[in-house]
Amino acid sequence: MHTQVGIMVEEILHLMEKRGLSPSTLKQNRSSYFGIKRWFAKQTCGEYDPGSLDAFFKRYEDRFSRQEIKEQQFQQIKRMTNYLKEYAETGNVSFKRYVSPPKYLPSAAALELIESALAATTLTDKYKYSVKCNLRRFFCYLESRDLRASNISISLLQEYYSYIFPSNTGNMDKIAHSLKILTSYLVSENILRDMPDFSCLTPRRAPKKIIPAYSKDEAIKILTSIDTGTPAGKRNYAIILLACGTGLRGCDVANLKLPDINWKSGEISIVQTKTEKPLRLPISGQIRNAVADYILSGRPKSEYQNVFLRVRAPFTPIAGPSIFSNTIARICDNAGVGKKPGRRFHSLRRSFGTWLAGEEVDIKTISQMLGHADLDSGKPYISFDDNQMSACATGFEDIPVKGGVYA
């Protein structure tokens, strides 16, 4: 295998080209590698050396910490150095995402205890990950005070709550549940004698905010502002119309597969990403036409079954719902739809529930259409409707007001 960095870089760029990256992306990556090649030319006469690559990356890491370069540039350099290191070690590049190590990393014994506690539950993998993050931080707190799991007491938990609350006001319920899972396991294994009384530790709930939905007029403005003459426009129009007309979560829109759509019956059938429960919903002719127009005239050819794909190569499925929020924010700017705190793509789901409530659809039906397991889950998705609220207003005709501003 070649050890000259210049040759290695050309091989990596060739692999990127075979993967289907666009010429503009290849040009950007080549520009990033120019700095790496110049570094090695000075340090090792162009010969690859792991230590020199680490020194190169450390230099940029320091510059980023001093805010001399932007995060986007730093992440690009980080990605390119990882690709070069992988190619040097294996002769190939997998182009996998390089995830940063956990922020809170306790001892191996603590990690083993966390895994054992989670193995004793029936939680989904996604929720286990959340619990694991909470417990890793808790054990780091314990170990910083030279304490172990057997030292857990109600007073210690109270101290931890006070310590963590300022930076986790909206997450205290999940933290409390994570600690209950841990302490319950510790009691079952006789590591703790008694289960702590968590009723003494009821965390103060963060005030609930009413996140505004999009009005029907705003939704029409958004949809009519999209240029459906382009592949990106066809895709975005279909995505937003689907979300408005079904209330699907962004993750379920991103995961929607071609076989999930029954064109004859006009329905989609999915297993929800969040709840892992099946959901079948009708889709209107307008939605079907928009999705079909994208599939037939805008969707690139791909081996993936996902309905919605990236517009540019590589034509892979959309990474996640955060992309949708960025997209709708940009479309709202073009459409003249004002920004409101907390309003994003997920607000289309709230809009769907609000519009149904405005048509006097009962809460049970709304919850079923939103794919909720119980009625209470549907209530936060129903924003205040001005017409319905005005119907609740009481006049003063039957009240004998004799003075004051109402006289």
| Residue 407 belongs to a domain | no
How far the first Cα of the chain sits from its last, in Å, is 94
Please state whether 123 falls in left (phi above 0), alpha (psi between -120 and 50) or beta: beta
Q: Letter for the amino acid at 262? A: N
Q: Are 244 and 187 in the same domain?
A: no
Contact indicator for 308, 239 with CB cutoff of 8 Å: yes
Dump strand ranges (E) for 50-144: none
Task: Centre a 10 Å sphere on the Cβ of residue 101 and count the other Cβ atoms it contains.
Answer: 5
In this prediction, residue 222 carries a pLDDT of 94
pLDDT tens readout for residues 21-50:
777 778 888 888 888 998 999 888 889 999
In a domain? residue 296: yes
Beta strand spans in 274-405 (E)? 278-282
Does residue 397 lie in a domain region? Answer: no
Residues 262 and 298 in one domain: yes
pLDDT in tens, 192-227: 998 988 887 765 555 556 667 898 999 999 999 999
**Domain-embedded: residue 292:** yes
- Among residues 41, 56, 90, the one where a domain terminates is 90
Question: Is residue 359 over pLDDT 50?
Answer: yes
Does one domain contain both 374 and 302?
A: yes
Share of the chain above pLDDT 90, in %: 43
Check: CB of residue 233 under 8 Å from CB of residue 226.
yes
Same domain, 273 and 381: yes
- How does the average pLDDT of the chain come out, rounded? 84
Whole domain around residue 168: which residue ranges?
108-201
Q: How many whole angstroms separate alpha carbon 372 and alpha carbon 391?
A: 28
C-alpha 147 chain-centroid distance: 34
396: in domain: no
- What does the pLDDT look like over 63-79, one tens digit per residue? 887 778 887 788 889 98
CATH of the domain at 155: 1.10.150.130
In 147-305, the DSSP E strands lie at 261-262, 267-271, 278-282
* Structure-token pair, residue 207: 């005030």
* Sequence-ordered alpha helix ranges (H) in 319-358: 321-335, 347-358
CA distance 282 to 274: 20
Whether residue 258 is found in the same domain as residue 364: yes
What single-letter DSSP state applies at residue 252?
Answer: H
Whether residue 249 is found in the same domain as residue 341: yes
The residue whose two tokens read 């939680």 is 123
- Sequence-distant (6+) residues with CB within 8 A of 205 are 172, 173
Q: pLDDT tens digits, residue range 234-272?
A: 999 999 999 998 889 888 999 999 999 999 999 999 998
Assess whether 290 and 155 both reside in one domain.
Answer: no
Which amino acid makes up residue 116? S
Same domain, 227 and 281: yes
Of the candidates 247, 226, 215, 347, which has an alpha carbon nearest to the alpha carbon of residue 290?
226
Cα distance between residue 45 and residue 3, in whole Å: 11
Residue 102 lies in a domain: no
Q: Which two tokens stand for residue 133?
A: 């993050």
For residue 53, the model assigns a pLDDT of 92
Verify that 164 and 187 share a domain, yes or no.
Answer: yes
Q: What is the pLDDT of residue 185?
A: 95
81 and 129 in a common domain: no
Contacts of 325 (CB under 8 A, 6+ apart): 250, 344, 345, 346
CATH number at residue 346: 1.10.443.10
Cα–Cα distance measured from residue 302 to residue 375, given in angstroms and rounded to the nearest whole number? 40
Residue 407, pLDDT score: 43
Same domain, 353 and 306: yes
Averaged pLDDT for residues 339-348: 86
Q: pTM, whole model, 2 decimals?
A: 0.52
Instruction: Please report whether residue 99 resides in a domain.
Output: no
195 and 232, same domain (yes or no): no
Surface-to-core class of residue 307, CB atoms within 10 Å of its CB (0-12 exposed, 13-18 middle, 19+ buried) = buried
Burial of 145 (0-12, 13-18, 19+ CB in 10 A): exposed
Contacts of 52 (CB under 8 A, 6+ apart): 39, 40, 43, 44
Please tell me the predicted confidence (pLDDT) of residue 205: 56
Tally of domains in the chain: 3
* In contact, 196 and 302? CB cutoff 8 Å: no
Residue 307 confidence (pLDDT) above 70: yes
- 401 belongs to a structural domain: no
Q: Is the dihedral of CA 261, 262, 267, 270 positive or negative?
A: negative
